[in-house]
Amino acid sequence: MAAKQPRVAVLLPCYNEEAAIGATVEGFRKALPDATIYVYDNNSRDKTKAVAKAAGAIVRSETQQGKGHVVRRMFADIDADIYLMADGDLTYDAGAASRMVRLIVDEQLDMVVGIRRHDVTDAYRGGHVLGNRIFTRLLSKLFRRSFTDIFSGYRAFSRRFVKSFPVLSEGFEIETEMSVHALELRMPVDEIETRYGARPEGSHSKLSTFRDGWRILKTIVTLYRIERPVLFFGGIGAFLLLAALIIAAPLVFTYIETGLVPRFPTAILVTGMTIVAVLSFFAGLILDTVTRGRREMRRLAYLSQPAPGAPLQL
């Protein structure tokens, strides 16, 4: 038995990162000299592609705008054993890359998340810090597990994670979808602290606190509806049934006292709400069967790939 030398691919999605992409590629080349570095340009209007090529990266393009589209293309096109993804803005510590890759192989993990620790005030806006904490706690409440930094774009993946991940997101909500994918399939994962620095002069964040925050919130709710249909639709049904009982209480008391139902519109409303509540509950049960089938298919796709660091029979 002999261990296969893993093929490592560094993935750098980019949009207008002329000022930072050259140094970013160079940093990862020093940290992982045997890795292949890919830069996927997402319709940059500056010289990102030229600078990345000059730095020695393999440069490709994705014309559909949005980080989710870029990640979908990268995961589909690139063949490797270990994937390391980071942003091309020089904010992530390339020196941590070898530790992340080694952890994937040694512990046979499927994802390692780089938890951002920033010493520079300008590195991470206060609104983003607060939003990260809120959404992390929300994810933990909804899925009963979470990560310390669910929005970190610095992650290492196994091949079986990448090739079983459908990538439905379009924009910056992609990190949330990655986290939920790992949690739902109960993959072995880990986290390490990494230094997070400020962008170099000329590089600007593309993340909008409120617009992208709203999209991330919608993604969490959508994923919760898809992955937890019994709780989602059952919760709606329970709310409607409780509201119907509260509204019906005066009608019941009146009927007991007088034998009459004087407010037929209210009685019809209560009946309709009760019917919708029952239908919502049964919709959750039916969709749960569909969800289990989808999860089994993803699990089978996941298991069809070898574990990272698995020995080869010679």
pLDDT of residue 64: 93
User: What are 49's two structure tokens?
Assistant: 């592609």
Taking only the tens place, the pLDDT of each residue in 197-245 is: 876 766 566 566 667 677 777 877 887 888 889 989 999 999 999 999 9
What's the pLDDT score for residue 278?
Answer: 95
In one-letter notation, the amino acid at residue 92 is Y
Question: Given this model, what pLDDT does residue 3 score?
Answer: 56
pTM of full prediction above 0.75: yes
Confidence check: pLDDT of 28 > 70? yes
Q: What's the whole-number mean pLDDT along residues 36-59?
A: 94
Residue 58 in contact with residue 39, Cβ under 8 Å?
A: yes
Give the Å distances, CA to CA, from 293 to 136, 198, 287, 297, 298.
27, 44, 10, 6, 9
Q: How far apart are CA 300 and CA 312, in angstroms?
A: 21
Average pLDDT over residues 106-115: 93
User: Dmax of the chain from CA atoms?
Assistant: 88
Q: Which residues neighbour 219 within 8 Å (Cβ) at sequence distance 6 or greater? A: 169, 173, 176, 177
Ranking 46-50, 78-82, 122-126, 238-242 by mean pLDDT, the lowest is 122-126
Is residue 311 scored above 70 in pLDDT? Answer: no
Per-residue tokens: 77: 């096109």
**Nearest residue to 159 via CA among 202, 95, 110:** 110
Cα–Cα distance measured from residue 215 to residue 218, given in angstroms and rounded to the nearest whole number: 5
Q: Which two tokens stand for residue 207?
A: 């993340």
Helix (H) or strand (E) holding 250, with range, is: helix 229-258
Q: In the prediction, which pLDDT does 180 show?
A: 85
- For the CA atoms of 64, 66, 67, 73, the dihedral, rounded to the nearest 10 degrees, stands at -10
* Whole-number Cα distances in Å, 137 to 26, 116, 134, 146, 169: 36, 17, 5, 8, 21
Q: CA torsion sign, 219 to 220 to 226 to 227? A: positive
Across 80-84, average pLDDT: 95
Nearest to 179 by CA among 194, 165, 159, 158: 165
pLDDT (mean) for 96-124: 84
Q: How far apart are CA 11 and CA 155, in angstroms?
A: 10
The per-residue pLDDT for 313 is: 42
- Least confident interval from 118-122, 143-147, 226-230, 293-297: 118-122
Determine the Cα–Cα distance for residues 153 and 113; give it in Å rounded to an integer: 8
Q: Is the pLDDT of residue 155 over 60?
A: yes
- Identify any residues that bridge with 117 across adjacent strands, giving them in sequence order: 195
User: What would the 3-class secondary structure string for 161-201 be?
Assistant: HHCCCCCCCCCCCHHHHHHHHHHHCCCCEEEEEEEECCCCC
CB distance 186 to 296 below 8 Å: no
pLDDT at 297 over 90: no
Confidence band, pLDDT 50/70/90 cuts, at residue 291: confident
Q: What is the pLDDT of residue 1?
A: 43
Q: Which fold has domain 2-227?
A: Spore Coat Polysaccharide Biosynthesis Protein SpsA; Chain A (3.90.550)
The mean predicted confidence, pLDDT, of the chain is 85
CB neighbourhood size of 292 (10 A): 11
pLDDT tens-digit profile of 156-189? 999 999 999 988 888 778 888 898 889 888 899 9
Average pLDDT rounded to a whole number, residues 4-18: 90
Domain boundaries, the chain: 2-227, 229-303
Give yes or no for residue 295 having a pLDDT over 90.
Answer: no
